Amino acid sequence: MKNRILPRELLLLILAIAPVLYLLMNWSILPDQVPVHFDIDGNPNGFGSKMVYLFLPPGIYLLMLVLPLIDPRKQNYEIFSNTYFKLRIILGVFFGIINSAIIFNTLHHIEKMGLLVPVSVLLLFTLFGNYMGTVRQNYFIGIKVPWTLNNEEVWTRTHKLAGKLWFWSGMIGVASLLVVKDPIFVMIPVVLIIGVVPVIYSYIIYQKITKNV
């Protein structure tokens, strides 16, 4: 097992450190205040210290490393360890791209991020959806409401549905951005669908299961 874990952690560390190295290489020519928040159209609407991007990727790495250790259902992480590893890779790549793109845009005086943020977020939904059905009960990842956490069957059925919704909503959302001018008209429906529908579905099947007990 250790022979398998070490190469995985090394890959995740590289993903966390690479954007930081890019930042450090350009540290002296970056302004002290850089964009840290963007609106739905990719325009910067919030600025902060460039130190944010120094700690963000390593912070995400450490957070995902610690979560299985503090989760009351930590034993379940062994069951979906391969999925958890893939989700960590996806997050590492996502934050690395966003981190580096913001630094690059700041260096080259590009005023906005364009569709990078909404497309990246939608692809994140798609990739997460691809693995959602294999996530087991835990307190940090997935549809975490009382009835999914209290019933394994409800959790499993909910996440199988959520996986399909996340995957296809992300894919359709990316395609929609090619024809819809304002990303907000794509992002809001997608977020509502992937956030609300699984919760409602989980409650309905929980009620059906508990009535039959």
Per-residue pLDDT at 3: 58
User: pLDDT class for 43, splitting at 50, 70, 90?
Assistant: confident
Percent of the chain clearing pLDDT 70 (strictly above): 96
pLDDT in tens, 91-146: 999 999 999 999 998 888 876 677 888 999 999 999 999 999 999 999 999 999 99
pTM above 0.85, yes or no: yes
The CA-atom distances, in angstroms, between 194 and each of 103, 128, 159, 170, 191 are 30, 11, 11, 9, 5
List the alpha helices (DSSP H) in the chain: 2-25, 52-70, 76-79, 81-107, 116-132, 146-149, 152-176, 184-212
